[in-house]
Amino acid sequence: MRLNNRNKIGFFNFLSTLLVMISLFGIVGFLLERFQYNYLGFSSILFLLIPLVFITIFYLRGRQIFEYDSDGEALNFKNRNVLPYLSTPISDEFPKYKLQNYEILNGFIFKRLYINIASKKNHTITLRYDISYLSRKELNDLKFSLSKVIKNNKERENS
């Protein structure tokens, strides 16, 4: 099964550009209010705080683009930002039989996918992916696919 939200790249680029523009207008509005007009007094700080809150929420949610591929004998996960200079992309590929379990952490602002895989020395490695920008259908498809792989792994162990 293949799952990705690359078709939303244009929307995320627009959203990040909009947030930068709102921030710039907020800075200009704050400076004009503070030094030219002075109608609002201390509440002119809202011109800076409101865009800062929106930018913080947008980037706290994590990497925007998530790709998953379970076709074949390996699982492929890719997670990256729309703007490549904000963080390094994550790309992992491992055999399906190494997948032990997964957990989806659903926070107030963000969603994270934690994957536990077995290493060669009987250790468990935990991989983390940002899935905040997946739709509900995409998230359900991802859960179904990962559960199916884990179920097949348990059947293979028992036989």
- Contact between residue 66 and residue 127 where contact means Cβ atoms under 8 Å apart: no
Residue 16 DSSP one-character state: H
CA gap 149, 130 in Å, rounded: 20
> Taking all residues of the chain, what is their mean pLDDT, rounded to a whole number?
90
Question: What integer pLDDT is reported at residue 143 of this predicted model?
Answer: 94
Q: Is the pLDDT of residue 84 over 80?
A: no
- 38 pLDDT more than 80: no
pLDDT of residue 158: 83
**All structural domains of the chain:** 1-159 (2.30.29)
Give the model confidence (pLDDT) of 97-133 as tens digits: 999 999 999 988 899 999 999 988 888 999 999 999 9
Task: State CA 39 to chain mean position distance.
Answer: 40
Q: Residue 22, Cβ neighbours under 10 Å: how many?
A: 16
Residue 159: pLDDT over 80: no
What is the C-alpha separation between 7 and 23, in angstroms, rounded?
Answer: 26
For residue 106, what are its two tokens?
């659903």
CA–CA dist 40, 37 (Å, integer): 8
CA distance 143 to 73: 18
Please say whether the beta carbons of 68 and 33 come within 8 A: no
Judge residue 68's burial from the number of C-beta atoms within 10 Å of its C-beta, 0-12 exposed, 13-18 middle, 19 or more buried. buried
